[in-house]
Amino acid sequence: MFLSVCNINTSYIYYFVGASLVINSSWKNPSGQWHVGCKLVYELFTDTLTSRVKKERKRRWDEENQEAIAEAVKQLDQFDKKHTKVEGAHLKMVREDLQNRVDLLRKQADSYDDKGPVIDAVVWHDGELWRAALDTQSLEDESGCGKLADFVPLTNYRLEQKHGVFSKLDACTCVLNVYNERNILSIVTDSSPHATHVAGIAAAFHPEEPLLNGVAPGAQIVSCKIGDSRLGSMETGTGLTRALIAAVEHKCDLINMRYGEPTLLPDYGRFVDLVNEVVNKHRLIFVSSAGNNGPALTTVGAPGGTSSSIIGVGAYVSPAMAAGAHLLVEPPTEGLEYTWSSRGPTVDGDLGVSISAPGGAVAPVPTWTLQRRMLMNGTSMSSPSACGGVALIVSAMKAEGIPVSPYTVRKALENTSIPIGALPEEKLTAGQGVMQVDKAYDYMQKVQNLPCVWYQVKIKQAGITSKPTSSATSRGIYLREPLYCHQSTEWTVEIAPKFHEDANNLDQLVPFEECIELHSTGEAVVRAPDYLLLTHNGRSFSIVVDPTNLSDGLHYYEVYGIDSKAPWRGPLFRIPVTITKPSIVTSRPPLISFQGISFVPGQIERRFIEVPFGATWVEATMRTYGFDTARRFFIDTVQLSPLQRPIKWESVATFSSPSSKNFAFRVEGGQTMELAIAQFGSSGIGSHETTIVDFEIAFRGINISKEEVVLDGSEAPVRIDAEALLSTEKLVPSAVLNKIRVPYRPIDCKLHALSADRDKLPSGKQILALTLTYKFKLEDDAELKPQIPLLNNRIYDNKFESQFYMISDVNKRVHAKGDVYPESSKLPKGEYTVQLYLRHDNVQYLEKMKQLVLFIERKLEEKDIVRLNFYSQPDGPLTGDGSFNSSDLVPGVKEAFYVGPPAKDKLPKNSREGSVLFGPISCEGGKSLQKNPASYQISYIVPPIKLDEDKGKSSSDTKSVSERLEEEVRDAKIKILSSLNQGTDEERAEWKKLSQSLQSEYPKYTPLLAKILEGVLSRSNIEDKFHHFTEIISAADEVVASIDRDELAKYCALRSDSEDEATEKLKKKMETTRDQLTEALYQKGLALAELEALKRRVKMNVNSISGLKFVLFIFWPWLVNSKGEQNRLLVNMTLVQNATALGAYCLDGSLPAYHLHRGFGAGVDNWLLQFEGGGWCNDIKSCLDRSKSNHGSTRYMNKWEVFSGILSNNASFNPDFYNWNRVKIRYCDGASFSGDAKFYNGTSLLYFRGQRIWQAIILDLLPKGLGHAKKAMLSGCSAGGLATFLHCDNFTSYLPKNASVKCLSDAGFFLDERDIALNHTMRSFYEGLITLQGVEPNLNQNCTSTLYYPHLCFFPQYALPFIETPFFILNSAYDVYQFHHILVPPSSDPRRHWDHCKLNVTACDTSQLNILQGFRIDMLTALRDFYQNSTRDGMYINSCFTHCQSETQDTWFAAGSPRIHNKTIAETVGDWYFSRNISKEIDCAYPCDTTCHHMI
């Protein structure tokens, strides 16, 4: 959880989500800083717990909903009884509202979706430690429970070892840790019950009930969570590495780990390297589960069963356990390994399983399971059982002063274990046997004075530079494939003694010398020398293995070394030799059958078969008989292939009575296949009948010339050769392309060092993190997953430490997450960001990954799936001739055919160049493609799209080379001017010198003059303000003088629909010129106003302003200058410095701002906040343009603002609010302070953070007095008036409950109205805005959940019924902005019939006036309910052609101000706010009102 910072001086924290948190007064916090964050609690819970909590919350919700339905039905019934005849519009509306309420409540159950409660967290420093507390009221059912102030503060668990509980409902315990210099709070919970169960097996301590104790009661446990709850408890590389760091940091003696998975390379990978360091250097003993993937051989998992430094533990069940824990009626007479326990050897011949321990237990589980103990079994249980036993040994050794070494402890365990079973090959199942704690300790006492040595074994086949497995060396001899099982081979064995890293050269390494006797457990098959003199530098010897006389099946031998001087030490090292001699299939067609195999519970039978060359799949039949109660079997097959994980097929078959079952699975020809059949240990218990099994295998196969078929994107087909080597087969090719994989390069990469808190390796190396950002867009809903071919599907056999990805939309909502095993997720259409997180301590590795290709793999919908055609001719795809359907394949005879590329018009839409379409191809038509065991992959690379012949043509540039060069030089000079700083006097002098030089060189070049004006405006810390404002006026005059205003006016009066390049260039140029003229006049006017204020003049220079007013009206009709104001109040700008903590930025990334003028007298505790207006932007181009203006960046804003009208501090001009604290909130986002998104395409960056700007400004004002306001009003003009509708209730939530809070919107009631062409122009505009800027989640949730189109809640008429705070609407019924942009936008009047009417209302004809009167009626209709049914609200709807009337003195409160019923706007608003009079005024229709200040 990431935290933001709040500085408060009260007992409340006003949080950006709109809530306030009460601080416990006893909590010490000398700094006054509180770090606050929130978390969806379901992200912390397991799926099981989440399901239980959801079920309980749904039950409570159903009860409350039913009560609400009953009450609504009751009210409706009472209404119907009271009004037997419903007449009149008002009664009909009431009846309709009651019925709608009933219908809505009934429908709510269908749309119920519990996203989960949100908990709040607060972190602070009490002067000694970082503390944290949680507010969990949202989880509690009882009012008053779960309050932040009642939570007992916690610190990092390691310091005080205290935990908390979220609530009674979940009963889930948690611990808290603060990291990264208090910016991250880690809330640690279970990802499953296993960890508690495992800890209980190892170290549970119940002094009052000793029978409940663990193996090592009271052993101290350091719990390191490596499972990620977001991934369903899957371990991550980050978790694994941090756990090893913590184990070393806390000076642990042992590590127990219960995770693991198959691997393609044993004893390899980043994690294994770190484990080796921990064991060899820091002397930790590492115990881990061997895996639960038996009963077949070579199923041990990484890291426990495949890593030399780790003690891999198998799962053993004794007769007593079988009877007591598993409740078997007739337990086995002897102990045995669980059927599912993984078996060795590893693919490089190591034993795999080191020892065995009890694999089941009834042990403690977390409280959220609502039970105390639970039975679980697995090697996850055997590992902590063994670890607890080792803990006893280590404890005794420490008590006796015996040095602890993982080398000698492991040797003690292996050499004192009791073997399971009488056959040598049982070691592949149980390792050296069941561990014996007492004997192991006795062994340690005897060897305490001997060197601590690990005997590393490396084996190579003599005369061969590399084994077929491509591994340079192995740790054992594993003869599995037919070639090695029918000839004698010689192997070179190197024994290298390894000491701990702190071993002393003179005292330990130099004196080391051992005379070792070599023994073989099968002299007839495995021969070795008799003796070996071993020194520190190691020694090699040869072993000869001759399996030629062995029978088919499994054979296991060992060559081991005994200290000739101390044979009691037992084997110092062992060299496992495993031989699986396969049966050869000689019949044709190839068929092998195993008849009459007898089974009793727990029995395992193995058969090894040489799969015939040419076989690609198997059809098998299993028949059972000889029993009368149900039987259950494991059926496993395993084949090994170089640099692949073991190829395993598995099934569980239940036979309720004697019968047969059929199976089909894929095989590789020429490789040995193990067939392992095992009857469940609990299956058939109590029945004395032996189960008889017949198992028949028929090998089938069609071989093709390509393992993967690739269509390269051209029109050419691909030829495929097919043959059947075993028997006649029917060749029926089929292929589909049902998935698409689209490649992406990162648009951003960030490399940084991680915190040393938990990401610094024991070696001292700092771990680095690389974050790669990708963007993609979905045109339709889709199911997809990201793929990183280099890294996926490997967690332990991977040299990279960690990978993690998250997919989020433009609103930052996370839709999917994953790591090495990406899973498919269903996403709605839209734009998405993928963030990929990689970690390593080697910066060079990460540097190479900065352009890592990521694929987005997507399943195609059924309508988009491409079915490929087959041909007998190479020209078939073009001519359509020679279709190929089927053929009979005769053994030894090849058949060829062609697979054609898909037709271009059949490609799925949005198949971009370089994408890969792929799917299965099969040559055997007996099964569906998806289920065919012998299918291959076919892929098609999408070629470049067809070029549009007209595309790319550009108008010829008529300028000469010298002219173009001159322009390039000019623009380069201007660019240099723009880049210069003016922070010091010297820099300012340099800037001025260059600007004067350029101005003399290009005196009438408007872009240069605009840059000079921009440079003058950018200066800060101005001492001589009079000179500064004069310089602004001079620079603005230069810009205005350089522009041909007649030409600009002519262009603006014309409409051009041409889209050719020349027209577009002219359009862009004229729009830029227009903006430059507008900005120059605007800045000149402001400078003049500020000069007047500085001179303390009473009267403004009207002549200087008049031209400004005209131009501003043409381009920005919402910017109005008042002519009659006196004693202007200038207020300086305040930048919100803490906005970065919330990510609150203007469009261009600058900080947001406001202007605050403090209240006085009786108004010192009252607050008025006014949103600035300024339109919107709804596409990237308009938002980029806006980001370079004073409505998209505080860099371009005037630093002083005139406060007039409702913001005036003069009682004569603002009688009710003059002495309040008055705030003008500057507008720089383009979505009425409601967006929350970001755009970045690699070159342009835009922040759509209006919602965060609003929150940041509120949080900045709360400690300045707003937090204890007695009276408050939120207002705004135009787009700011719309913002008032959007944020009114949220504003109320920040303030004290006893405060009088109300809201006012001026010219913000924008109608959802069709234009004169009957188009919803404004609705479409807003829809684009909402999508681009991520607005919808911030709209009124009651509104969005009610309307079919949630985005309509951006319109005030739809949001208004859901606003709970008292509201006042100030609007003109003929609002000029709405007239020009909603009713008659330019797009609706292509012939420009309305131009004169829009400039002067007296020029409107009768039909145009009728349309305007209709617009007024529509506005009043939309306000009818508000006018009729609300007693707390107010309104002032006049008939003036104007826009915004509260900010200018002329219209707010002056002698000639507009009036309705002889009341000014200021008087009406004051009467409403202070409840002095009913305040709902509606003017008569135009042209009756003679008090209006018309803008046109």
Tell me: pLDDT of 467 over 80.
Answer: no
Residue 347: which of 37, 741, 45, 639 has the closest Cα? 639
pLDDT at 53 over 50: yes
**CA dihedral of 6, 10, 12, 13, whole degrees rounded to 10:** 0
Question: Where residue 1414 falls among pLDDT bands split at 50, 70, 90?
Answer: very high
Q: What is the mean pLDDT of residues 341-352?
A: 95
Residue 979 has what pLDDT? Answer: 81
Q: 745 Cβ partners below 8 Å, 6+ apart?
A: 774, 851, 853
Predicted confidence (pLDDT) at residue 954 exceeds the cutoff of 90: no
Backbone angles phi, psi at 576, to 5 degrees: -70, 140
Q: Could you tell me if 856 and 776 are in contact, meaning their C-beta atoms sit under 8 angstroms apart?
A: yes
CA distances from 333 to 319, 868, 945 (A): 6, 60, 73
The region of weakest confidence among 644-658, 703-717, 737-751 is: 703-717
Instruction: Quote the pLDDT of residue 704.
Output: 87
Interacting residues of 440 by C-beta distance below 8 A, sequence separation 6+: 389, 393, 409, 412, 413, 416
Close Cβ partners of 1179 (under 8 Å, ≥ 6 residues apart): 1328, 1332
Other C-beta atoms within 10 Å of 1370: how many? Answer: 28
Spatial neighbors of 882 by CB under 8 A, at least 6 apart, are 871, 872, 873, 875, 876
Residue 1473's pLDDT band (cuts 50, 70, 90): very high
* Contact present, 801 and 767 (Cβ < 8 Å): yes
Q: Mean pLDDT lowest for which of 41-55, 925-939, 991-1005, 1225-1239?
A: 925-939
* Token pair for 1318: 């009957």
* Other C-beta atoms lying within 10 Å of the C-beta of residue 632: 17
pLDDT at 808: 93
What is the pLDDT confidence band of residue 1097, given thresholds at 50, 70 and 90? very low
Q: For the segment 74-113, what is each residue's pLDDT rounded down to a tens digit?
A: 999 999 988 888 887 778 888 888 898 888 888 888 888 8
What is the pLDDT, as a whole number, of residue 1363? 95
How many Cβ atoms sit within 10 Å of the Cβ of residue 49?
25
> In 627-741, which ranges are continuous DSSP H helix?
none
Which whole-number Å values give the CA distances from 137 to 37, 118, 122, 142, 143, in the listed order?
15, 9, 14, 9, 8
Residue 616 — very low, low, confident or very high, per pLDDT cuts 50/70/90? very high
Q: What is the pLDDT of residue 989?
A: 84
CA separation for the pair 1417, 1402 (Å, rounded): 20
- Which tokens belong to 1415? 């617009």
| 1126 pLDDT more than 60 | no
- The pLDDT assigned to 6 comes to 61
Count of CB atoms situated within 10 Å of the CB of 1278: 28
CA distance 858 to 776: 12
Span 752-774, pLDDT tens digits: 888 887 889 998 899 999 999 99
Place of tokens 């797009």: 1387
Report phi then psi at 1085, rounded to 5: -60, -45
Question: Would the pTM count as exceeding 0.75?
Answer: no
Q: Say if CB 597 and CB 644 are below 8 A apart.
A: no
Cα dihedral sign for 877, 882, 883, 887? Answer: negative
For range 1111-1115, the mean pLDDT:
34
Q: Which residue has the tokens 């190892």?
A: 202
More confident residue, 758 or 1050: 758
Is the confidence at residue 580, as pLDDT, over 90? yes
Tell me the average pLDDT of the chain. Answer: 89
pLDDT digits (tens, 9 = 90+) for 189-207: 998 999 999 999 999 999 9
Reported as a pLDDT band with limits 50, 70 and 90, residue 1059 is very low
Residue with tokens 């054979």: 555
Q: What is the pLDDT of residues 108-167, one digit of tens each?
A: 888 888 888 999 999 999 999 999 999 999 888 777 788 999 999 999 998 999 999 999
What is the tens place of the pLDDT at every residue in 1355-1369? 999 999 999 999 999
Q: Could you report how far apart the first and last alpha carbons of the chain are, in Å? A: 55
- Residue-level pLDDT at 628: 85
Query: Tokens 């109040």 belong to which residue?
Result: 1129
Instruction: Decide if 786 contacts 834 (C-beta within 8 A).
Output: yes
What is the pLDDT confidence band of residue 18, given thresholds at 50, 70 and 90?
very low
Residues listed for the chain:
1496
Query: Which of 452-461, 682-691, 697-706: highest mean pLDDT?
Result: 452-461
Is residue 1091 scored above 80 in pLDDT?
no
Predicted confidence at residue 1117, as pLDDT, reads: 32
Looking up tokens 């717990």, which residue turns up? 49
What is the average pLDDT across 546-561? 96
Confidence (pLDDT) at 1048: 81
pLDDT score for 911:
84
Q: d(Cα 1225, Cα 1233) in Å, to the nearest integer? A: 10
- DSSP β-ladder status, 854-859 and 782-787: antiparallel
**Nearest in space to 275 (alpha carbons), one of 757, 844, 762, 754:** 762
Res. 1441: pLDDT tops 90: yes
What number is the average pLDDT over the span 317-335? 82
Q: How confident is the model at residue 1332 (pLDDT cuts 50, 70, 90)?
A: very high
Tokens of residue 889, six digits: 């394949």
In 3D, which of 1208, 1207, 1218, 1219 has the Cα closest to residue 1170?
1207
What is the mean pLDDT of the segment spanning 1430-1443?
93
Amino acid 697: pLDDT: 96
Q: Could you write out the DSSP letters of every residue in 178-231?
A: EETTTTEEEEE--SSTHHHHHHHHHH---TT-GGG--SSTT--------EEGGG
Indicate whether 63 pLDDT > 70. Answer: yes
Average pLDDT over residues 1201-1223: 93
Answer whether residue 527 shows pLDDT above 60. yes
- pLDDT band for position 926 (cuts 50, 70, 90): low
The 10s digit of each residue's pLDDT in 1261-1309 is 999 999 999 999 999 999 999 999 999 999 999 999 999 999 999 999 9
pLDDT mean over 399-417: 96
